[in-house]
Amino acid sequence: MSKPCRRPTRAALKELRSEKKRQEKALNAKRRASGQVLHSPTSLPNRCSAFATVGEEREAREDAVSKKTRLLRKELPALLEQLEQIPDPRDPRKRRHKLTALLLYGLLMFVFQFSSRRETNREISRPQFMANLHLLFPEIETLPHADTLFRLLRDIDLDHLEQAHVDLVKRLIRGKSFRRYLINHCYPIAIDGSQKVAGDTLWAEELLQRTVGKEETRHTQYFVYVLEASLAFHNGLVVPLLSEFLEHALGDTEAQKQDCELRGFVRLSDRLKTLFPRLPILLLLDGLYANGPVMQRCLRAHWQFIIVLKDKDLSTVWQEFRALHALKPQAVQRAWGRRRQHFSWVNDIDYAFAANGRQRLKLNLVVCEESWEKIDEQARTVTETSRHAWLSSQPLRQDNVHERCNLGARHRWGIEAGFLVEKHQGYHYEHAFALDWNAMKGYHLLMRLAHVFNTLARFTRQLRNLYQELGVRGAIAFIRNSCAAPWLDPARLRLLLAEPFLLQLE
């Protein structure tokens, strides 16, 4: 008969934690001695308020609000000028608010991260918030009801709204704001899909559908799926760019075929080429896009690409890789942070696809095998390993494999991190805001545009200390609460707002 397992005592657990810390310090010292550069994520400070007096807090709040507002106002003139060109579908006799004021109100709704139309109505209409908002944005003479914005988004042409977003990014590109973060002189753009809304009600004919559940709980579910494109730089800066909604095609002759990511990619890539015809682009794609038609489309558009390749995909490419690598191995080893990496690659692999292999491409495949030490829960040093493989449009060499793989391909996760931010950190990506297809898309586009401004604020040199001290959501809440209470002195704020603002990204 086996003895019952005894739980460790509190003293034993304390000793184990102490031993684990000692082992981690020893391991880090060993890494530094070998020349490894350690990058540890910095946690938010765990201390009491840094303000000693009410005056210090007031000054800090005014400074934060003025810098964030100056960033917004730097781009507002061009943005509002474009929005003013949108045809207004409302009855001229019943208009109380300008179209630009309504859309600016909708943008601020997501900049301040209100969770719903009800919360926006309740909070932003408070007298103090209204007074401060008019001080910061004189374009908003009176605040509308959130339902007024809904009725506008329900009826307007949203192409103009997305064009204003694209032109904002174009101005940033022309201003060389991102030039330090390019990969092989190209702008890295990650494309991936994400579910937005799911439910059991068919509230719009465009909704996709699927069957979920088992046996007696099996039923039809309707959902919204969006293919997103974002600039994803290796310093963590992720800038939303384009959104392509997958829709159930009404009257589709192909037996009402469901829309999918690959069909959406065709539309999105066409729009991307039309909007940025001469921009050097490096597409960062996951394993779904490792197929001939997608890669051929990228090459015809004169885009570079790096695509994740799974072990079970493109078997002929893997076979040729193993055969050629055995004959003429090309490899390099390097250290990256805490990891030891071994890159091996083969260039000019012949890949045939389509019927009878009529279409052919030359591909380049690189495999990265890496290992690193860590201290486990029992205070033992263990070695962890991982393996990655990518298809590259450009040949791999010793002098470019780090840039293309570590700084490019590895940061495709930036768009997925952006999804997590938009879903769980204040933007409410999965909230429809309106059960009308056009209005839902309009709120989504305003949310993505607001995310651009908040991302720029996070990475700009002027607000860096605020975000390091409070975190992203803490900094946004700090600015929002400053506008909601009588912290701001109008005379001093006008002087601060009159100062020029130079966008300098870190």
AA identity, residue 423:
K
Q: What is the pLDDT of residues 176-210, one digit of tens each?
A: 999 999 999 999 999 999 999 999 999 999 999 99
Is 425 strand, coil or helix? coil
pLDDT at 251: 55
pLDDT at 302: 96
pLDDT at 218: 92
% of the chain with per-residue pLDDT over 70: 96
* Cβ–Cβ under 8 Å, residues 292 and 351: yes
Is 346 strand, coil or helix? strand
pLDDT at 110: 96
Q: How far apart are CA 331 and CA 346, in angstroms?
A: 9
pLDDT at 336: 87
Q: What is the pLDDT of residues 414-432, one digit of tens each?
A: 999 999 999 999 999 999 9
Q: How far apart are CA 128 and CA 486, in angstroms?
A: 7
Question: Average pLDDT for consecutive 10-residue bins of the chain (506 residues)?
Answer: 68 79 77 67 81 94 96 92 91 90 95 95 93 92 91 94 95 94 96 95 93 89 96 95 89 63 96 97 96 95 96 94 93 89 95 87 95 82 91 95 95 94 94 95 97 96 92 94 95 93 87
* Cβ–Cβ under 8 Å, residues 102 and 144: yes
* Cβ–Cβ under 8 Å, residues 123 and 129: yes
The position carrying tokens 């205070």 is 379
Entry pTM:
0.92
SS3 of the chain: helix, strand, coil, percent, to 5: 50, 20, 30
pLDDT at 255: 44
pLDDT at 39: 65
Tokens of 66: 């003025």
Q: Tell me whether strands 339-353 and 331-336 are parallel, antiparallel or unpaired.
A: antiparallel
